[in-house]
Structure 1
């Protein structure tokens, strides 16, 4: 017995020794190249395990491989802050007490900063909060081009210009991914309206596709290295975008060489065969009502789940496409959930709060400021009247999937009281009733904005208060309720809702010291613009909204934002409404098409490349406010632009330099914008196109040289006949100015 125990002990020691000497599997060995680790992991996985990791297991997570120690992947909305936790199989809130975050300004506000550094800070801050919350993929940012001001989701995007959007999205991606959190740039592609978003077949020429709608995605892939791309809902060439041969295989993975993961939007997958063969890698959100199909686990019946497995087992399809999908998903895991070097992250830190305020302050655009009405002169102001529902309504909730549960939101009224209340009296009147709800997408704001007084009573109260005050701040615009700035539905008209136009006109008669602060993610009509001295475009500014608005009103922050899209005078001045089809083909609309996924409606982009300012400038249509427009509390003087050479060769670069001087009495920042005009082209081109910009900070009286360098690509257009980018030799003009309609200096040069 003793001998037996000794023998067992020796064997045990030998076993321990053998385990100690056993090498780490290649797929878990950090010292090995990732490609080798992926192939090793792939070789160890069963067919069922491969299928498991290419589709969801819950609302926002996908399977790992527990047997091999490969963890789950966890995703989260959204582009402006990390969405609160929901239940495993339902959209209802999970009821956690530790999932409140900082809301950052919506992406229209970020783009309005025209500041790449702000984009980097934004991405870094958001990535840190996502990492702290244990998220592997953040579902954003959005880079779809602003085609119509009626698109309910424009507030989540970066404007009408592909160059500006491309420049602003890359630092965001790098900032987020530095935290070991993937971005999912969306919605690829042509998701330019919410009406019929599931059942619209977009028709446009290749030139418009490549020049206007694809560049931000290409920059996200080739310059930002976004680890995932999210497919869109709409159809293109008759196939849904989330499994689209031309978009995903031919362009994204073919022409651009994308090695990352294509993720479906929630509810965007509709066909197993197309999902297998047309470029989709990871299926999320199918049957987004939770458990369905009469089974105990709907996730196993997703298009890339059991139906795919059955096809393989029956021999009807092979595993080549499956292995490619798995390789990509494993590559994502090694960068995120299996990345041992990812930082811990932080949430609602002082740095995040400061970042949110700085981005918000820089994004606010001073549209109009007659007689220097702003900043508010406190020496002449004993009483400030704040009027408008948007001064007291939370805007971090609502709008769809970007609805957030925040640590706090400083409302405009509170921010104004905090900043001005110690020096002057601040009073408030509602003025109008818009949306009194407080429950959006499962997030409860906790507000009760119910109002029993009539519209006439509210206007009378507001006008009386305006007459009694020295200065009036009207805070209105849109909100994130249905048919305004909201996912899933477009706006129903270009004008302001809730009879605000009448109220603003009445206020302008009551007090000439009036500033209108518009909260929106879209352009709006302004029939009262000649009656109002000052207008601020403030966007959805997140947790620090009230502080940022108050800082600009007081002059603590000198506004430096510039519009990322044009404000047309009327809807018909927008090219999509003048030439294109919106919300779809009229005859098909009349016939009721688009109501069923199997009966999509066609939407033809007849305007082609002439989107936004490209249309206004070329057709000499004066907008209400131009692309790139934004005033300051100081003034800037531009010198004469100089070029370092007069001729540009195909493989060379040319640098344009202009001196900019702050000629006012306040420190400020100016965005120097470079547009290129092709003086003679074989194909029609816009009058000018943005090809460079730089934001320069100048003290009062200070001047600096600003240099912007371009190469041949800035002169190129996409030739659909050649299916290639072409830069034709000849004369060009570089135009430098403060907006697309405010060109200060220009110079000719030649491409040899």
Structure 2
């Protein structure tokens, strides 16, 4: 241990105290030993450090910081170096605000397009997500502080996220859901990892020995700190044994006592605690040293320009019929859409940033060479219909050469804690588009959303620019693409299905009660669409440019693939070249092709460059469930260089020697997986893949409610009082939505409806402790008076202990 001498000077109580927060955002300190507290802050795309009242849902304003594009946006740049540069800027701002640990990036897979937090994640592909995350982590940590990669792992839905049990087979877990974390940890060398809320195959992630010890610590050799998601600790002692050092936020010492008791009774050895303390001390001392040495003022304008640069590289041109873009000088344009006036530039929830400034489309248009003839909102951003707004927009559009229509998803549709209900954009926006097309067919839609949407309306626009959620400088970045000042180079980091029902996980999302089954196995996103030959609207890796590129002269060596790329158009531009690999053997089921490398290349008109995409340890591997290790199958592998998964320009084949591992599967037992048509797998076949029976997915409505049951489950509680509470919550949610208070309605679902009862204690900073919670559960389970007496009795005990503790502290100070 690094800090053995210091740890020996600590009392058991002091060591235990370090394992939990001091308050909502800070860790505990031990002043007598020179151990300072750390400050942790949300910040996947900007620092969210709250100066006053703290919360985890983005309710209270934070100190102004640069709002960079979200991860879903940055992923479309396919530029690792740009991600690292953005990380450097994030790290600089974190240091300036006194933040030791920046809680990001988030790298969970986009298993389903409705997952409410997709805007905060990079991609449906683990290789792309991992590489971008590693770059961002390096940038953040270049300032000596810590990034915190999250949420480890398989956290792919928001509904019931604190209680849901994710059922996934080992191979899919390793190849799809852990590979991005492996890259981020091994290559990015993140100092902190955040455990997820959910269970994984029956055990909460922060207690899961297989995940936390076998894989994270032993296999990946990770020696950093693991912190719980806020309120995500279930059994504190079990988490400690698994190597989850830090529980956040504070529980006012309650879980410290659990650790002390476990050591005194011999349940765990004190060495287990010492091991956790040692790793946490290393994080405290190294990040504290960085803050002391390099706090400084931020050049806000410089950081704003960086946010604009990232946005410009991440914007995706999806349609350009009749070369309507770029818009020519002197063209008369009508600006229509509420998002043009008030940009939709970031997600909602714990990642929400208070921007230092915010560019406006209506202001920025004045700098363009095309001519604005006016603005009309056209629609209400929250879905309310208005024929008057449509009529006014159409009247303006009649007089324009081109209509710039700003549409997308609003802030309360994409938010932490909630999954989307459909892939559609609001109906009032589509009605507006339909009306506009009748008076002016020259429409360019500018789309703002953090995830894939259905586009049955795409035939009604000639141009489509997707800005995703492009941060505080996004409005100007989009205008520069529209005008041609910037040649778009973004490519989609996720597939766009034609219909939601085409999505492989649509029948198994979200898990509504006890569990969610990942029956599609490794066939998520393009791995499914490409293998099962399902048509998509826009394929993974797709994006248009104002110039053209020619690929030629593929050469394959042991180290990688080399080819030439030529800009055959009239404008300078960048092309994202992508390496896909497909195994020609059919002995082991696999997707038809998988992304195994990429690079972004800038070329002047007529310029040719030689491009090399190297192989690495992940190029040919698969996870073998019989050997419980990564193996390589001896086979011929097709190497494909493309402009997208569906636009392969060059091919070659290489023979690869294998590791000689036994075949892991019987083809006859897994027909859906061998065909790739894994969108509707039976329970029996999924159990063959899983290697065991799946657990019961429905609540046992005969059992009493316990710590890990949610407040939503009061609907079947024995207590009439509990059922009344459930009905009141349900009615409140319905009523608030009805009167247009959607944000408040969402808050009920996020912070109450799906909250496990233990969360009442874990998220209240010790205001309600577990013994008091026992009383609440008695009430919910039909023992109203007994539960009320227990609740009041335990509250009285708690108040008495707190008074005694305060008296002792004061006495110590006076000595």
Distance in 2 between residues matched to 1:608 and 1:259, nearest whole Å: 30
Name the counterpart of 1:433.
380
Alignment check: 8 A CA contact 2:579 2:596 kept: yes
- Say which is worse superposed, 393-402 or 146-155, in terms of deviation: 393-402
How far apart are residue 41 of structure 1 and its match?
1.8
Q: What whole-Å deviation, never above 9, does each CA across 1:543-593 have from its counterpart, x for those lacking one? A: 10111011101111100000000000001111111xx51112xxxx5xxxx
Alignment check: 8 A CA contact 2:237 2:262 kept: no
How far apart are residue 87 of structure 1 and its match?
3.4
Distance in 2 between residues matched to 1:371 and 1:640, nearest whole Å: 32
How far apart are residue 275 of structure 1 and its match?
2.1
Distance in 2 between residues matched to 1:69 and 1:468, nearest whole Å: 71
| Residue in structure 1 matching 2:252, options 299, 309, 312 | 299
How far apart are residue 477 of structure 1 and its match?
0.7
Give SS of 1:543's match: coil
Distance in 2 between residues matched to 1:401 and 1:713, nearest whole Å: 33
2:551 counterpart of 1:604: no
Distance in 1 between residues matched to 2:527 and 2:494, nearest whole Å: 11
TM-score by length of 1: 0.84
1:49-198, aligned counterparts within 5 Å?
Answer: 49-87=14-52, 99-198=63-162
Bigger share in helix: 2
Give SS of 2:16's match: helix
Give SS of 1:496's match: coil
How far apart are residue 311 of structure 1 and its match?
3.1
Give SS of 2:436's match: helix
Distance in 2 between residues matched to 1:337 and 1:486, nearest whole Å: 33
Distance in 2 between residues matched to 1:72 and 1:609, nearest whole Å: 42
The runs of 5 or more residues in structure 1 that have no matched partner are 1-34, 287-297, 437-450, 595-600, 645-652
Name the counterpart of 2:275.
324
Give SS of 1:374's match: coil
Change (3 A) 1:610 1:187: same
How far apart are residue 256 of structure 1 and its match?
1.3
Distance in 1 between residues matched to 2:534 and 2:296, nearest whole Å: 49
How far apart are residue 346 of structure 1 and its match?
4.1
Change (3 A) 1:746 1:497: same
How far apart are residue 427 of structure 1 and its match?
1.2
1:521-600, aligned counterparts within 5 Å?
Answer: 521-577=450-506, 581-584=508-511, 589=512, 594=513
Distance in 2 between residues matched to 1:46 and 1:719, nearest whole Å: 46
| Residue in structure 2 matching 1:489, options 418, 429, 441 | 418
Give SS of 1:640's match: strand
Give SS of 1:254's match: helix
TM-score by length of 2: 0.78
2:236 counterpart of 1:272: yes
Alignment check: 8 A CA contact 1:501 1:527 kept: no
Name the counterpart of 2:622.
717
Alignment check: 8 A CA contact 2:54 2:60 kept: no
Change (3 A) 1:137 1:455: same
Name the counterpart of 2:641.
736
Alignment check: 8 A CA contact 1:101 1:347 kept: no
How far apart are residue 344 of structure 1 and its match?
2.3
Alignment check: 8 A CA contact 2:61 2:354 kept: no
- Say which is worse superposed, 208-217 or 237-246, in terms of deviation: 237-246
Change (3 A) 1:184 1:91: closer
1:163-562, aligned counterparts within 5 Å?
Answer: 163-285=127-249, 298-301=251-254, 303=255, 305-339=256-290, 342-379=293-330, 381=331, 383-395=332-344, 399-420=348-369, 424-435=371-382, 455-481=386-412, 484-562=413-491
Change (3 A) 1:346 1:695: farther
Alignment check: 8 A CA contact 1:276 1:322 kept: yes
Q: What whole-Å deviation, never above 9, does each CA across 1:606-661 have from its counterpart, x for those lacking one? A: 110111111011011111000000000111111131223xxxxxxxx332111111
Distance in 2 between residues matched to 1:340 and 1:141, nearest whole Å: 20
Alignment check: 8 A CA contact 2:364 2:476 kept: yes
Change (3 A) 1:155 1:403: same
Name the counterpart of 1:25.
none
Give SS of 2:615's match: strand
Give SS of 1:134's match: coil
Distance in 2 between residues matched to 1:549 and 1:93, nearest whole Å: 26
- CA RMSD across the alignment: 2.0
Give SS of 1:42's match: helix
Distance in 2 between residues matched to 1:161 and 1:149, nearest whole Å: 13
Distance in 1 between residues matched to 2:531 and 2:494, nearest whole Å: 16
Name the counterpart of 2:554.
641
Q: What whole-Å deviation, never above 9, does each CA across 1:691-738 have from its counterpart, x for those lacking one? A: 111100001111111111114630111111221112112211110110
Distance in 1 between residues matched to 2:168 and 2:536, nearest whole Å: 25
Change (3 A) 1:69 1:550: same
Give SS of 1:103's match: coil
Distance in 2 between residues matched to 1:497 and 1:411, nearest whole Å: 23
Q: What whole-Å deviation, never above 9, does each CA across 1:484-520 have from its counterpart, x for those lacking one? A: 2210001011111242222222222322221111101
Count of paired positions: 657
2:651 counterpart of 1:749: no
Alignment check: 8 A CA contact 1:204 1:604 kept: yes
Find runs of 4+ consecutive structure 1 residues off by over 6 angstroms: 91-97
| Residue in structure 1 matching 2:583, options 678, 681, 686 | 678
Q: What whole-Å deviation, never above 9, does each CA across 1:25-63 have from its counterpart, x for those lacking one? A: xxxxxxxxxx54x22221222222211211101110011
How far apart are residue 196 of structure 1 and its match?
1.7
Alignment check: 8 A CA contact 2:300 2:356 kept: no
Distance in 2 between residues matched to 1:263 and 1:699, nearest whole Å: 47
Alignment check: 8 A CA contact 1:396 1:406 kept: no
Distance in 1 between residues matched to 2:366 and 2:437, nearest whole Å: 22
- Say which is worse superposed, 506-515 or 58-67, in terms of deviation: 506-515
Q: What whole-Å deviation, never above 9, does each CA across 1:374-394 have from its counterpart, x for those lacking one? A: 111124x1x311111111224
- Say which is worse superposed, 497-506 or 670-679, in terms of deviation: 497-506
The runs of 5 or more residues in structure 2 that have no matched partner are 658-815
Distance in 2 between residues matched to 1:254 and 1:150, nearest whole Å: 34
Give SS of 1:714's match: coil
How far apart are residue 368 of structure 1 and its match?
0.9
Q: What whole-Å deviation, never above 9, does each CA across 1:190-213 have from its counterpart, x for those lacking one? A: 011111211211111111101100
Name the counterpart of 1:21.
none
Alignment check: 8 A CA contact 1:434 1:498 kept: no
Alignment check: 8 A CA contact 2:100 2:291 kept: no
Change (3 A) 1:641 1:508: farther
- Say which is worse superposed, 129-138 or 217-226, in terms of deviation: 217-226
- Say which is worse superposed, 659-668 or 309-318, in terms of deviation: 309-318
How far apart are residue 351 of structure 1 and its match?
2.9
Distance in 1 between residues matched to 2:614 and 2:603, nearest whole Å: 21
Change (3 A) 1:101 1:192: same
Alignment check: 8 A CA contact 2:346 2:469 kept: no
